[in-house]
Structure 1
Amino acid sequence: MNNYKLTIQYDGARYKGWQRLGNNDNTIQGKIENVLTELAGEKIEIIGSSRTDAGVHAYEQIANFKMKKNSTEEEVMQYLNRYLPNDISVVDVTLEHERFHARYNAKDKTYVYKIWNEQYPHPFMRKYSMHVEEKLDIEKMRQASQYFLGKHDFTSFSNAKSKKKSMVREIYSLEINENEGFIEIRIRGNGFLYNMVRKIVGTLIEVGLGEKDAATIPSIIESKERIQTGRMADAQGLYLEKVGF
């Protein structure tokens, strides 16, 4: 049984997210599995390192799958890119050892969030960034970002329904940069809860607009009350940028 590792890029604008949803194959996972099943002549299931939401994009999603057929890495890559939609690309395929697991072996993940911070909308980036008309205070956002660093229970910053799994995650870095009207918020951690990045970004936006004080972040984290976090940033501005192993 061969175990293949895929490096995937995708525009998530028209998909219902990464994860396969029952009979609905309008997901990234569903599209790739359908093509691989044709290649393999058997039912193929792939494992992704991150379950990105509907509308979220990826510069580097990592996945793996196993199949009996002895196809070369180049054959798998060419077949996938020939039959996948143009908004999903497989940029690398490698044969890995049998125990490689795209989700369990991932050590850290980096997400980047893009905000277009001008009065007028950006016609070419409207599907790939969140438009905030009011000028954001970057320095206040940077002050607030420091409170998220380290290991915390992020219940307040998640819409995860399960209460059985740990809500503790560790944020290694959170950087905010501005360039020609765009603000990029880059966050790296050992893992992220459902909607966690978008809720953190939403809270940082509120700080940047003067609607929330940066000093309140620690109490919001400690409260474990989701109502404290306010808005959630739009899906289209979020990108899975890198997965570390």
Structure 2
Amino acid sequence: MLKLTQINKDFGNGHGLHDVSVEFPANKTTVIVGPSGSGKTTLLRTIDFLEMPDSGQYEFDDLHYDLSRPLTKQEVLAARKKLGIVFQGYNLFPHLTVLANITEGPVHVLKQSKQDAEANAMSLLQKVGLADKANVYPDQLSGGQQQRIAIVRMVAMTPEYMLFDEPTSALDPELEVEVLKVILELAKMQDSIVIVTHNMDFARGVADKIVFVEDGKIEYQGDPEQFFAQPTPRIQAFLAAGTFDPKQA
């Protein structure tokens, strides 16, 4: 179980998080949506302490932190060991092959043997259709391929929760589909996933829970069907803004 309670983060300009309480169910996919600048990425980054809250409570399995006090490096690492995150950028090591990118963490952090790490990496590459790219370098891959490798690299670390920060925002529609298919397969395997996305069709199809963030506050959290079928006037306006009908322009 991963739970944040009364989280506050003040950037000094009105933006941040304001008294946010949310639970991310295990073995479910939680999708965070909202307008640009709403705080959805800040919320995701708080889970991994890439943004350190000013106050609130953090609960993750046996970890219970009062965020009104500074956390030690050991406390932060204890949480991060359970988490994996994929960003908008691919963040692959350019000087390493695809295979080396994937096995670096399992060998040096998880202390797997090189043989076991490579066998697992090849199995994962096969699942995402990139086994033939094991010995090439990131700059020889398309953006969609690099993002799929970034996901494989995270999965190879066997995190308890997988976090995705708008992983397809830098991709064109065709490449976006490649990446979303991989995330959908992870969701079908009932992995614990938290994803920020701008793609409402994908959110509708993959979410077990929807979290709608605006102005640093959670305005909705719960059942996806209710979110899309019976939205409040504000949510209805948000969803309508994602479509464009030239006849009504």
Give me the TM-score of the superposition, normalised by structure 2.
0.26
Name the structure where helix makes up a greater proportion of residues. Answer: 2
Structure showing greater relative contact order (alpha-carbon pairs closer than 8 Å, 6 or more residues apart) = 2
Normalised by the size of structure 1, how large is the TM-score? 0.26
As a proportion of its length, which structure holds more strand? 1
